[in-house]
Amino acid sequence: MMPSQVTSNRTDRRPRRKARGLAPAWRPLVALLLLAVALPACSGLFSKDEVLPDDPADKLYNEGLYLLNDKREAKAAAKKFEEVDRQHPYSEWARKSLIMSSYAYYQAGQYEDSVNAAKRYVTLHPGSPDAAYAQYLIGSSYFDEIPDITRDQARTEKALAALDEVVRKYPNTEYAVSAKKKIAVARDQLAGKEMLVGRYYMQRKDFTGAINRFKVVVTQYQTTRHVEEALMRLAEAYMSLGIIQEAETAAAVLGHNFPDSVWYKDAYTLVKTGGREPVENKGSWISKAFKGIGLG
């Protein structure tokens, strides 16, 4: 009985010793298995957006249209269009969404964002039929931010340059027609700024500085409403400096091109008061400037 009991006892003890000896080696594997089970749950908890599949491009695009047209939420629509480009960057929907995001930002009054999106469109898709509209959106965004005439006109100059680009590159589009109208307004604004500064110099009796400003109007903005006053002010400034022939030429050119202008009456009276007559000197820069556009 004793040997068998001893054998039985060894048999009972051996598994216990093996179990105690193997347990530490298994613990890392068990821990890894548990971690593998836990990670998907954590991922679903903390990175939900990363595991969701992309929305279909047409779905996102139509949601943008709905926000823009039905809900009148232009800013939210622009974000939705941007999402199309983010999720489907090389698709045709992305191209359409880029121009729509520029338009939506324009409608929202976020002109800088509109310009950025439109510039990106023109760069990526210069041959697209919508490139003309993208360029027009750039000019219109700048145009809608034209400041008061007393302030810096850098925005006006940007609008003029962008709109000129529409007319130059896309002359046969409907956008060129609208761009020309805005160009006329922008040019008038820039001419008005020059006149404002010129009159300021006149008040300070800085006649040379004033002449330089009025000269810009006569040479660069001849088709604006300010050119008549600019010619009269030139006559006034030249008379003050004793440069009579140029004063006579300014008055003569004014009378020849705008005979019914109240500014011509003032210039004529000014020259006559000095005992002179409005006589055009064909060699004067004033005469040459007007001949350059067929007004002289």
> Tens-of-pLDDT digits for all 296 residues of the chain?
333 333 334 444 444 444 444 344 434 333 433 333 344 444 444 444 554 557 899 999 999 999 999 999 999 999 999 999 999 999 999 999 999 999 999 999 999 999 999 999 999 999 999 999 999 999 999 999 999 999 999 999 999 999 999 999 999 999 999 999 999 999 999 999 999 999 999 999 999 999 999 999 999 999 999 999 999 999 999 999 999 999 999 999 999 999 999 999 999 999 999 899 999 999 999 999 987 554 44
**173 and 207 share a domain?**
no
Under the phi-then-psi rule, with left for phi > 0, alpha for psi from -120 to 50, and beta for the rest, what region is 146? beta
Q: Domain for residue 133, yes or no?
A: yes
Provide the pLDDT for residue 292. 58
Provide the pLDDT for residue 32. 33
Q: Domain for residue 31, yes or no?
A: no
**211 and 113 share a domain?**
no
Domain that holds residue 259: 190-291
Question: In 239-277, which positions are buried (b, 16+ CB within 10 angstroms) versus exposed (e)?
Answer: beeebbebbbbbbbbbbebbeebebbebbbebbeeeeee
Provide the pLDDT for residue 97. 97
Does the pTM exceed 0.95? no
Q: Domain for residue 90, yes or no?
A: yes
**169 and 243 share a domain?**
no
Q: Cα–Cα distance between 81 and 104 in angstroms, integer?
A: 9
Domain count, the chain: 2
Q: Cα–Cα distance between 11 and 13 in angstroms, integer?
A: 6
Provide the pLDDT for residue 53. 56
Q: Cα–Cα distance between 258 and 296 in angstroms, integer?
A: 11
- For the chain, the residue count is 296
**176 and 196 share a domain?**
no
Q: Domain for residue 21, yes or no?
A: no
Q: Domain for residue 52, yes or no?
A: no
Q: Domain for residue 48, yes or no?
A: no
**264 and 229 share a domain?**
yes
**65 and 181 share a domain?**
yes
Q: Domain for residue 260, yes or no?
A: yes
**74 and 147 share a domain?**
yes
Domain end residue (candidates: 139, 174, 189)? 189
Domain end residue (candidates: 172, 189, 206)? 189
Domain end residue (candidates: 131, 154, 189)? 189
**140 and 234 share a domain?**
no
Q: How far is CA 65 from CA 77, 79, 87, 179, 229, in A?
A: 7, 11, 17, 26, 49
Q: What CATH code is carried by the domain that includes residue 282?
A: 1.25.40.10
Provide the pLDDT for residue 54. 79
Nearest residue to 114 via CA among 181, 159, 62, 156? 159
